[in-house]
Amino acid sequence: MDVENNVILNHQQINHKIRRIAFQIYESNVDEKEVILAGISTNGYMLAKKLKQVLQKISDITPILCEVHVDKKQPWTEITTSLSSEAYQNKSLVLVDDVLNSGTTLIYGVRHFLDVPLKQFKTAVLVNRNHKKYPVKADFKGISLSTSLHEHVNVILDGKIFEAVLE
């Protein structure tokens, strides 16, 4: 399989999607002073960092990063975050991940934050694969993609070149 032909999003397209998602987050939080960007480790957190950079350029909102640690193989085990629950209590929070596949990681991430009263709770993903096992949706998404269950989407956000590839 030629990897070149399986590029779903190239560097420029990913940057465009990140910018668009950041504007959507801004629009839904226009009256907020801060918004928590809770990125699921590792790629979701990298995406949250990139969203933070854009939000700082386009708005007066102070984006606060939070890294969410979910065991993707056993998501029902304890989930930890880099911020205490008091830090995001009664705030607007966006749970961020790179790919929404079956929804398992996102739904367990959502469940973790339900123990704390939030002002607003949204989800953001770069790629939505439409293979949902759970009733979870992405409020903000870069691209929706119909794929087979046997295919895998690999998102690369570290380094100088970003890429989303169908494998």
User: What does pLDDT average to over the chain?
Assistant: 91
Instruction: Please report the pLDDT score of residue 29 as a whole number.
Output: 97
Map out the domains of the chain with their CATH numbers: 3-166 (3.40.50.2020)
What is the amino acid identity at position 108? Y
Per-residue pLDDT tens digits for 9-67? 999 999 999 999 999 999 999 999 999 999 999 999 999 999 999 999 999 999 999 99
The answer to whether 133 and 104 have CB atoms below 8 angstroms apart is yes
| pTM summary value | 0.92
Instruction: Give the CA count within 13 Å in the CB-facing half-sphere of 50.
Output: 27
